């Protein structure tokens, strides 16, 4: 019997990268590979990279240093770097790391098994970073599920971005916008539902732009409505959106479609109009705030999150204060915040000076995060004492004898309960808000009455 080949995969970066890693693993499983958690046991090591910030790049470089000795010890071990950083650096990565065998960008994912075979048979190094034409972009539909029993899954509907915000590398690493045909998306969602998937997260760099460049496809909110209507699908989420392509139909869907979760990640980046202009964002502060008001009117319990960059080129103290005041005004449930670092090839790298001193960036980032931590804590504490619907995903990571799931607003809840509940939508009492999750008790069928005595037993 032929021995199975083992692949070790390490993922850096966003949900899109996680999905790509899952797809690569599915393709390799179909080609006779099994996944291993240990690089020492692997025949193929793949590092799926991100280049949106500087930190994942640093992590990759230090990991490459650690893998060098393994590569020298193990004849036949194949080492590959994939993803956005591979796309960005391309041949320069092969020159920097003479022991690297494969450099592959996101568009080459469907070719991965063949590229590995090329490396193994010819013992030569392979570079695959060509970007594909958006008209015929081949979306891979290898189903990737997560959670015990595959309760939740990601579905790609769109890739790339045409917006060219001045700080952002995505249009260069992920290429131009391409929308996946709606028929193909819906077929994948039906197949997922048939396998027991109850929650789908729709992914794209910019889902609000779905179909805008392909008149044959419906607008994003119509596609989302059709996904929510697939029998068996209990919940739908999506990410990521830009504010300027958000159409009123999507706001309306929050008012009318209960299967659409009460969570919206709406990147703003900064609070001052002057800064938004330098970032080449296509929205003003006021336009953004109007969207927030519309969304909250359509779905009063909606949780909002955003991305914030501090210390972008030329940021004044006044502009920084405008970002803080925006955070206080919107009261996001959660934010992703970063100190600006120059990304190669971007408009900012070419024409703006990265002139905010490192210690100022650090202080401003701390102020942003400190303010948001207070708001987040207040928002989470507001769930204490309430009973909330939770889709049970599997055993808790904190304690595998407990269960874990998410509320509609995307917070994780850990609670004691029977594994028979996995995959079900139940109601859970929220006992306490921790820093990044909620502690729950007493799962019950949605709408059922819970006896106060039983509740006390669980708490004691
Ligand atoms: S819209 Fe988002 S992905 Fe596109 S360039 Fe701007 S920040 Fe980058």
Indicate whether 366 pLDDT > 90: yes
Q: Using an 8 Å Cβ cutoff, are 259 and 283 in contact?
A: no
Report the alpha-carbon distance of residue 356 to residue 381 in Å, rounded.
Answer: 36
Q: What pLDDT shows up at residue 145?
A: 56
Q: What pLDDT shows up at residue 36?
A: 95
Same fold, 139-261 and 387-459: no
Q: What pLDDT shows up at residue 447?
A: 65
Indicate whether 23 pLDDT > 80: yes
**β-pairing, 126-128 with 102-104?**
parallel
How do residues 250-279 score in pLDDT, each as one tens digit? 999 999 999 999 999 999 999 999 999 999
Q: What pLDDT shows up at residue 52?
A: 79
Q: What is the pTM of this model?
A: 0.86
More reliable by pLDDT, 134 or 432: 432
Please name every residue paired with 69 in a beta bridge, in sequence order, or none if there are none.
none
Average pLDDT over residues 15-29: 87
Weakest-pLDDT range from 147-151, 214-218, 437-441, 449-453: 449-453
Indicate whether 458 pLDDT > 60: no
Q: What pLDDT shows up at residue 148?
A: 46
More reliable by pLDDT, 306 or 18: 306
More reliable by pLDDT, 365 or 212: 365
Q: What pLDDT shows up at residue 15?
A: 79
Report the alpha-carbon distance of residue 91 to residue 54 in Å, rounded.
Answer: 19
Q: Is the peptide bond before 375 cis (omega within 30 degrees of 0)?
A: no
Average pLDDT over residues 67-96: 91
Give the DSSP H/E element, type plus range, for residue 19: helix 15-30
Give the DSSP H/E element, type plus range, for residue 80: strand 78-83
Q: What pLDDT shows up at residue 256?
A: 97
Q: If we measure between CA atoms, which residue out of 284, 258, 282 comes closest to residue 408? A: 258
Q: What pLDDT shows up at residue 3?
A: 65
Query: What is the strand order of the sheet 263-265 is part of?
Result: 263-265, 303-310, 334-339
Q: Using an 8 Å Cβ cutoff, are 227 and 234 in contact?
A: no
Indicate whether 38 pLDDT > 90: yes
CATH number of this structure's domain 5-131 = 3.40.50.12160
Protein residue with its CA nearest to atom 8 in ligand 1: 168
Among 14, 160, 165, which is best to mutate for testing ligand 1, by the most ligand atoms less than 8 A from CB?
165
Give me the CATH topology for the region 263-382.
Transcription Regulator spoIIAA (3.30.750)
179 Cα to the center of ligand 1, angstroms: 16
Give me the CATH topology for the region 139-261.
Transcription Regulator spoIIAA (3.30.750)
Length reported for the chain? 460
Nearest ligand 1 atom, CA 174: 3
Kindly state the DSSP code that residue 260 receives in the 8-state scheme. B
How do residues 387-398 score in pLDDT, each as one tens digit? 999 999 999 988
As for ligand 1, residues whose beta carbon falls within 6 Å of it are: 161, 163-165, 168, 170-171, 205-206, 242
Tokens for 93, please give them: 């990565």
R_g of the chain computed on alpha carbons? 23
How do residues 415-438 score in pLDDT, each as one tens digit? 999 999 999 999 999 999 998 999
Indicate whether 308 pLDDT > 80: yes
Q: What pLDDT shows up at residue 133?
A: 76
Report the alpha-carbon distance of residue 197 to residue 34 in Å, rounded.
Answer: 23
Tokens for 291, please give them: 């969207």
Q: What pLDDT shows up at residue 35?
A: 93
Domain 387-459 has CATH 3.30.450: no
Give the DSSP H/E element, type plus range, for residue 27: helix 15-30
Q: Using an 8 Å Cβ cutoff, are 45 and 8 in contact?
A: yes
Nearest ligand 1 atom, CA 161: 4
Q: What pLDDT shows up at residue 147?
A: 52
Report the percent of the chain where pLDDT is more than 70. 93
More reliable by pLDDT, 127 or 141: 127
Among 242, 243, 345, 348, which is best to mutate for testing ligand 1, by the most ligand atoms less than 8 A from CB?
242
**In the chain, domain spans:** 5-131, 139-261, 263-382, 387-459
- Average pLDDT over the chain, rounded to whole? 90
Nearest ligand 1 atom, CA 242: 1
Per-residue pLDDT band for 2 (boundaries 50, 70, 90) equals low
Give the DSSP H/E element, type plus range, for residue 444: strand 437-445
Nearest ligand 1 atom, CA 307: 7
């Amino acid at each position: 019997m032929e021995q199975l080949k083992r692949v070790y995969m390490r993922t850096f970066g966003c949900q899109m990268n996680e999905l790509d890693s899952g797809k690569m693993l599915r393709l390799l499983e179909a080609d006779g590979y099994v996944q291993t958690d240990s690089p020492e046991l692997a025949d193929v090591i793949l590092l799926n990279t991100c280049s949106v910030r500087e930190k994942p790049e640093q992590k990759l470089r230090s990991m490459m240093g650690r893998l060098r000795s393994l590569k020298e010890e193990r004849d036949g071990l194949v080492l590959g770097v994939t993803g956005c950083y591979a796309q960005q650096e391309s041949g320069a990565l092969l020159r920097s790391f003479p022991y690297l065998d494969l450099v592959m960008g996101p568009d080459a994912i469907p070719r991965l098994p063949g590229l590995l075979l090329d490396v193994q048979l010819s013992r030569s190094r392979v570079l695959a970073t060509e970007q594909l034409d958006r008209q015929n972009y081949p979306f891979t539909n290898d189903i990737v599920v997560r959670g015990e029993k595959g309760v939740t899954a990601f579905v790609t509907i769109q890739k790339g971005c045409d917006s060219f915000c001045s700080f952002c590398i995505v249009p260069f690493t992920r290429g131009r916008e391409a929308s996946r045909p709606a028929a193909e998306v819906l077929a994948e969602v039906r197949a997922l539902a048939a396998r027991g998937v109850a929650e789908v997260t729709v992914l794209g760099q910019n889902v609000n732009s779905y179909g805008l460049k392909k008149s044959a496809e419906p607008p994003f909110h119509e596609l989302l409505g059709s996904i929510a209507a697939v029998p068996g699908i209990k919940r739908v989420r999506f990410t990521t959106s830009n504010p300027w392509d958000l159409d009123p139909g999507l706001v309306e869907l929050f008012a009318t479609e209960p299967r659409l979760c009460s969570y919206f990640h709406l990147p703003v980046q900064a609070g001052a109009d002057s800064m938004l202009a330098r970032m080449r964002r296509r929205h003003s502060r006021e336009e953004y705030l109007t969207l927030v008001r519309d969304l909250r009117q359509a779905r009063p319990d909606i949780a909002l999150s955003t991305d914030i960059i501090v210390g972008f080129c030329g940021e004044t103290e006044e502009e920084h204060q405008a970002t803080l005041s925006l955070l206080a005004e919107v009261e996001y449930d959660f934010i992703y915040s970063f100190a600006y670092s120059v990304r190669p090839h971007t408009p900012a790298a070419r024409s703006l000076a990265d002139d905010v001193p490192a210690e100022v960036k650090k202080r401003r980032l701390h102020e942003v995060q400190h303010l948001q931590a207070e708001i987040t804590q207040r928002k989470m504490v507001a769930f204490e004492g309430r009973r909330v619907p939770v889709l049970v995903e599997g055993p808790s990571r904190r304690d595998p004898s407990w269960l874990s799931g998410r509320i509609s607003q995307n917070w994780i809840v850990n609670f004691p309960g029977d594994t028979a509940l996995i995959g079900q939508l139940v109601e859970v009492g929220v006992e306490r808000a921790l820093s990044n999750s909620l502690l729950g008790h007493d799962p019950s069928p949605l709408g059922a009455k819970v006896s106060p005595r039983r509740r006390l037993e669980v708490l004691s």
